[in-house]
């Protein structure tokens, strides 16, 4: 196999200005081409966060080598400085410790997702690895302003399959076991006294159990136990620790935010929607009361629970035409940082003065994008063949008639996730090149109630796939899409859907782009990370049990690998060599099967990536290849690209067949 590998950075990226059969007149009406680096390179600045005392501001931005680092400045001064020194991958997750002098951040090794928690000391200038354990994944759990020198972190240190809770002392780096996992706990929650008092366990039947203990010396007791058909998530404790906030579908199709008394079992609904589940919950970090709850059938809106905040939310909504969330606040709760997402503008942050009820623009993630014309992302509802409402998003290219267009069906990952409204560089990229873009929340997507979620149980390659086909047919019937020029593309489950589309319905799609998609469901489960063990039961219920003979045919028939001989349309596959979720073998085995069946495929492997492409050099390399690929297939516009414009990419390309 290795003899067929070719190292290439640009051999397939021949300059193509306009390919295929998009009408020249229509193409001429499209707005100016948006450079790929404007859409997909590192943001200029992003994710600003206030220190707890409100005296400093941190954010993420690239250094001179275009590697994302954490920056900090004193508010009111021009003393910006970089406080991290990542060499290659870039930092994407960080947060302030409660001591006001330590910035904590996460980093893994080339995408293996074994994250370590590091701390940068602003006073001493030192960086410490707080979880220096090889092959161990760290998951930060909680910080508390009353315990500024401590952090709760879950680590699979004792067993790679299970996460125990550890208490870490920031000043010394001491790591102490706090709470041991009995063998099935997938999540932990601390109360206002910074003690682990709630555990959310995954049961063998795929259901969920929440266990509570009155204090850390008492044994765990089962509090709520539900089957796999219910949605149940522990959100937080009340301030006195006597009640809990839950997102729960018990007694309702849609998951509501409820407050439940732990001893009495009495319950009251705090916020609900007849259309969608409760999603984001804003809780006051000091008072531990619910302030607002977000619901997003198409665009997101807030149900304000605390009347004292209604004036803030009403005024913030007028700052910018987008959906917003409060992302950071100081300890005095007088200054909020608010992030806005919009379909036609990159993410923007504002500083909100609660006393003055005044907002000030702070920064934009992609200011260069604002000079270009972007397209509307329109929420649409599509009926499936069996009557389900498929809440979807349609993005049409600006400047050309919305008729008989080439289209990209862009499928989300998960599949237990969902598409949302707001800025997404991919649909904007496709639309700018001349394609209609359809994003479908097919059955099994989250956010639309338990009936919709469970309608996808054991329907991989079946009704879940039918929903995608029905959505394409809808777009054709509405006149938006040319049925002969529809591509399918996605990552993770979206990559699986791409492979399924080209194998199960080989005549439906003109081509496909698969990013880290599984090809064989049995080998997918056999190679999942060991720490997914408590979640295995969820796959058994929702996907099918690969070890149960009764599900053997279901699993095999839903695996594109065994129908690789049906692939007759062009296929591009991208894979990270260190992907812990969808291993490299998932892509390589279907490439081998295609070659064995005399088919054709282009396979691009990135040795320093995991589940997706984090490094901008690799992300832009693959997207450049995908743009040429889609241009040849659908006839859209293509930005010229040559190898010398992609320094730093580690792409290894294998071309099979034509």
- List pLDDT tens digits, range 389-436: 999 999 999 999 999 999 999 999 999 999 999 999 999 999 999 999
Does the pLDDT at position 645 exceed 80?
no
Q: Cβ distance 558 to 461 under 8 Å?
A: yes
Does the pLDDT at position 604 exceed 90?
yes
Q: Which residue has the tokens 């062009």?
A: 570
In terms of domains, do 316 and 279 share one? no
Does the pLDDT at position 24 exceed 60?
no
Number of domains in the chain: 3
In terms of domains, do 322 and 239 share one? no
pLDDT (0 to 100) of residue 646: 65
pLDDT (0 to 100) of residue 63: 96
In terms of domains, do 385 and 236 share one? no
In terms of domains, do 428 and 576 share one? yes
pLDDT tens readout for residues 500-536: 999 999 999 999 999 999 999 999 999 999 999 889 9
Range of the domain at 511: 2-39+370-656
Residue 392 covered by a domain: yes
In terms of domains, do 450 and 520 share one? yes
Query: Which one of 238, 328, 492, 519 is the catalytic residue?
Result: 492
In terms of domains, do 212 and 196 share one? yes
pLDDT (0 to 100) of residue 642: 67
Q: Cβ distance 504 to 482 under 8 Å?
A: no
Instruction: Of 599, 502, 656, 653, give the one whose Cα is nearest residue 13.
Output: 653
Query: Which one of 8, 611, 621, 649 is the catalytic residue?
Result: 611
Q: Mean pLDDT, to the nearest integer, of 626-650?
A: 85
Last residue of a domain, one of 344, 364, 384: 364
User: In what helix (H) or strand (E) does residue 405 lie, and over which residues does it extend?
Assistant: strand 405-411
Does the pLDDT at position 474 exceed 80?
yes
In terms of domains, do 289 and 313 share one? no
Cα–Cα dist 210/224, whole Å: 5
Q: Cβ distance 492 to 516 under 8 Å?
A: yes
Q: What is the pTM of this model?
A: 0.93
In terms of domains, do 577 and 636 share one? yes
Give the pair of three-digit tokens for residue 114.
Answer: 């074994």
Does the pLDDT at position 5 exceed 80?
no
In terms of domains, do 408 and 548 share one? yes
Beta bridge partners of 203: none
pLDDT tens readout for residues 47-66: 999 999 999 999 999 999 99
Which residues have a Cβ under 8 Å from the Cβ of 273 and sit 6 or more positions away? 254, 295, 297
Give the pair of three-digit tokens for residue 412.
Answer: 């989300």
Q: Cβ distance 391 to 381 under 8 Å?
A: yes
Residue 586 covered by a domain: yes
Q: What is the DSSP string of 533-601?
A: GGGHHHHHHHT--TT-GGGHHHHHHT-GGGGGGG--S-EEEEEETT-SSS-HHHHHHHHHHHHHTT--E
Q: Which residue has the tokens 């959310």?
A: 200
> Which of 9-18, 215-224, 364-373 comes out lowest in average pLDDT?
9-18
Query: Which one of 164, 579, 608, 621 is the catalytic residue?
Result: 579
Q: Cβ distance 339 to 330 under 8 Å?
A: no
- 649: annotated active-site residue: no
Q: Which residue has the tokens 């490439």?
A: 591
Q: Cβ distance 624 to 40 under 8 Å?
A: no
> Which of 25-39, 349-363, 450-464, 517-531 comes out lowest in average pLDDT?
25-39
In terms of domains, do 197 and 291 share one? yes
Cα–Cα dist 334/340, whole Å: 19
pLDDT tens readout for residues 225-268: 999 999 999 999 999 999 999 999 999 999 999 999 999 999 99
In terms of domains, do 230 and 333 share one? no
In terms of domains, do 414 and 310 share one? no
Q: Which residue has the tokens 């999603």?
A: 279
Distances in whole angstroms, Cα of residue 618 to Cα of each of 14, 454, 582, 651: 18, 36, 18, 7
> Coil, strand or helix: which one is 194?
coil
- 644: annotated active-site residue: no
* pLDDT mean across residues, the chain: 93
- 611: annotated active-site residue: yes
Residue 561 covered by a domain: yes
pLDDT (0 to 100) of residue 12: 32
pLDDT (0 to 100) of residue 27: 60
pLDDT (0 to 100) of residue 8: 31
pLDDT tens readout for residues 558-571: 999 999 999 999 99
């Amino acid at each position: 196999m290795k003899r067929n590998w070719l190292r290439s950075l640009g051999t397939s990226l021949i300059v193509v200005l306009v390919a295929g059969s998009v009408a020249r007149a229509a193409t001429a009406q499209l707005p100016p081409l948006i450079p790929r680096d404007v859409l997909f390179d590192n943001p200029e600045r992003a994710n600003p966060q206030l220190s707890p005392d409100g005296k400093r501001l941190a954010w993420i931005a690239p250094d001179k080598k275009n590697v994302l680092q954490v920056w900090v400045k004193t508010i009111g001064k021009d003393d910006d400085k970089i406080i991290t020194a990542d060499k290659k991958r870039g930092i994407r997750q960080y947060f302030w410790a409660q001591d006001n002098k330590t910035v904590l951040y996460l980093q893994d090794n080339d995408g293996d997702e074994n994250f370590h928690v590091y701390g940068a000391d602003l006073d001493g200038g030192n960086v410490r690895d707080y979880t220096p354990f090889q092959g161990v994944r760290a998951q930060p759990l909680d910080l508390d302003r009353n315990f500024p020198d401590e952090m709760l972190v879950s680590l699979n240190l004792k067993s790679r399959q299970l996460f125990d809770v550890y208490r870490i002392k920031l000043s010394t780096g001491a790591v102490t076991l706090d709470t041991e996992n009995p063998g099935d706990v997938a999540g932990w929650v601390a109360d206002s006294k910074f003690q682990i008092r709630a555990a959310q366990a995954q049961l063998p039947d795929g259901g969920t159990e929440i266990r509570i203990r009155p204090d850390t010396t008492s044994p765990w007791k089962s509090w709520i136990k539900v089957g796999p058909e219910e949605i149940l998530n522990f959100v937080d404790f009340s301030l006195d620790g006597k009640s809990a906030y839950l997102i729960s579908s018990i007694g309702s199709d849609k998951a509501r935010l409820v407050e439940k008394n732990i001893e009495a079992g009495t319950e009251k609904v705090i916020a609900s929607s007849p259309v969608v589940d409760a999603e984001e919950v804003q809780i006051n970090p000091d008072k531990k009361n619910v302030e607002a709850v977000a619901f997003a059938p198409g665009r997101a809106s807030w149900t304000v629970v605390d009347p004292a905040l209604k004036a803030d939310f009403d005024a913030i909504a007028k700052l910018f035409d987008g959906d917003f969330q409060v992302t950071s606040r100081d300890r005095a709760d007088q200054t909020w940082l608010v992030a806005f997402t919009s379909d036609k503008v990159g993410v923007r942050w504002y500083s909100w003065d609660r006393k003055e009820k005044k907002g000030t623009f702070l920064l934009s993630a992609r200011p260069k994008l604002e000079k270009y014309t972007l397209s509307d992302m329109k929420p649409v509802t599509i009926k499936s063949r069996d009557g389900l409402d498929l809440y979807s998003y349609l993005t049409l290219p600006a400047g050309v008639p919305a008729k008989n267009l080439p289209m990209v069906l862009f499928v989300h990952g998960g599949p237990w996730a969902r598409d949302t409204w707001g800025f997404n560089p991919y649909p904007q990229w496709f639309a700018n090149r001349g394609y209609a873009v359809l994003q479908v929340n097919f059955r099994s997507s989250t956010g639309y109630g338990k009936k919709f979620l469970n309608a996808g149980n054991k329907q991989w390659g079946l009704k879940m796939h039918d929903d995608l086909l029905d959505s394409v047919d809808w777009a054709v019937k509405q006149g938006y899409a040319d049925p002969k020029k529809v591509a399918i593309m996605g990552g993770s489950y979206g990559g699986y859907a791409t492979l399924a589309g080209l194998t199960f319905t080989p005549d439906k799609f003109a081509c496909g782009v698969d990013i880290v998609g599984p090809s064989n469901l049995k080998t997918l489960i056999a190679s999942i990370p060991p720490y997914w063990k408590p979640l295995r039961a969820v796959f058994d219920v929702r996907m099918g049990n690969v070890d149960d003979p009764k599900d053997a045919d279901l699993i095999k028939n839903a695996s594109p690998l065994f129908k690789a001989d049906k692939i007759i349309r062009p296929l591009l596959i991208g894979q990270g060599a260190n992907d812990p979720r969808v291993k490299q073998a998932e892509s390589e085995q279907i490439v081998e099967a295609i070659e064995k069946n005399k088919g054709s495929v282009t396979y691009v492997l990135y040795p320093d990536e995991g589940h997706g492409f984090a490094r901008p050099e690799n992300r832009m390399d693959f997207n450049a290849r995908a743009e040429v690929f889609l241009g040849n297939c659908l006839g859209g516009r293509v930005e010229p690209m040559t190898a010398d414009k992609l320094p730093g990419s580690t792409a290894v390309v294998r071309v099979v067949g034509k």
